Structure 1
Amino acid sequence: MTGAASQQQTETPLYGERAIDEAELICFDNPRPGRAYEVSIELPEFTCKCPFSGYPDFAVLRLIYQPGPRVVELKAIKLYVNSYRDRSISHEEVSNRIVDDLVAACDPVWLQLEADFNPRGNVHTVVRVSHGTRQPC
């Protein structure tokens, strides 16, 4: 790669970086609004930064929810979650913020997020946040 091409590539955000920067939670109408059902989504490559050390934190996010009027679009949640990769934020805050944003966007009947962070310094953290009342399916 020539020097000019290399310089241009580093100055211009890559398409994936642009998509993450522009990420927003997109929802669509629930195709079965009168039926109780659950959607499970696992996001195994979540990252953010520790607000105290600056070290990266890695987690598996497990989301289970019962849709209300809207269902979250999968690519949108992937990009939204990836937007945390360079943010300094605690395990507890990021877990609650994700739930707050999902509730605001989709208004689920019930939602639970489990953020299972990789051990660091011999400490393993799992944060569970829920919203609403789970209905029988």
Structure 2
Amino acid sequence: MNHPSVQSSPLSGSENFAESLTEASAETKYGERHIAEGQLITFPNPRLGRRYTIQITLPEFTCKCPFSGYPDFATIAINYVPNERVVELKAIKLYINSYRDRYISHEESVNQILDDFVAACDPLESTIKGDFAPRGNVHTVIEVHHQKPAMP
């Protein structure tokens, strides 16, 4: 006899549970949809006219080596001085997660992140640093910079 607080569910029984798992794994999860979209969303700078730096650290970056297919892991650090727009934090997290199944080199991934970041929020200055976990006794750090040209 079950405890009174235990309720029957569609997942009760091994057959129903297996069917539910199969159906659930066949459909795209909402998190996967958001990650697949990978769009950088911005909002107006709340302190327009004040020069300040925003630092974002994303310690769970993953991508796949385009040569071996092995996973690469990195911490991505974004430092920027906003202009008129600021990047939304959840959006940058989902954007970074969109790299997890991409076959892309360390160098290309960090440069692409900078290109997309600059296109999204047009910062006055930005630096993207990818600190990749050692693999095969090799530790790679890629750092790229952007500075908005001065207005004449």
User: For 1:17, what is the secondary structure of its paired residue?
Assistant: helix
Residue 33 of structure 1 is matched in structure 2 by: 48
Runs of at least 4 residues off by over 6 Å: none
One-letter amino acid of the counterpart of residue 109, structure 1: L
Output one character per residue of 1:63-88: Cα deviation in whole Å (capped at 9) or x when no partner.
Answer: 10000110000000000000000000
Q: 2:30 aligns with which of 5, 9, 15?
A: 15
Question: How many pairs align?
Answer: 133
The percent identity for this pair of structures is 59
CA distance in 1, matches of 2:118, 2:27: 34
C-alpha distance in 2 between matches for 1:21 and 1:116:
24
Give the equivalent residue in structure 2 for 1:50: 65
Q: Select 2:141's aligned residue among 123, 126, 133.
A: 126
Superposition TM-score, scaled by structure 2 size: 0.85
Q: Distance in 1 between the 2:76 and 2:119 partners?
A: 19
2:18 partner amino acid: G
In structure 2, the gaps of 5 or more residues are 1-10, 12-16
CA distance in 2, matches of 1:15, 1:105: 23
* Structure 2 equivalent of residue 74 of structure 1: 89
Q: Secondary structure at the match of 1:97?
A: helix
Cα distance in 2 for residues equivalent to 1:3 and 1:115 = 41
Could you tell me which amino acid in structure 2 is paired with residue 86 of structure 1? D
1:15 Cα deviation after fit:
2.1
Q: Which of 1 and 2 has greater Rg?
A: 2
> Where do 5+ consecutive residues of structure 1 fail to align?
none
Q: Which has the higher contact order (CA 8 A, sep 6+)?
A: 1
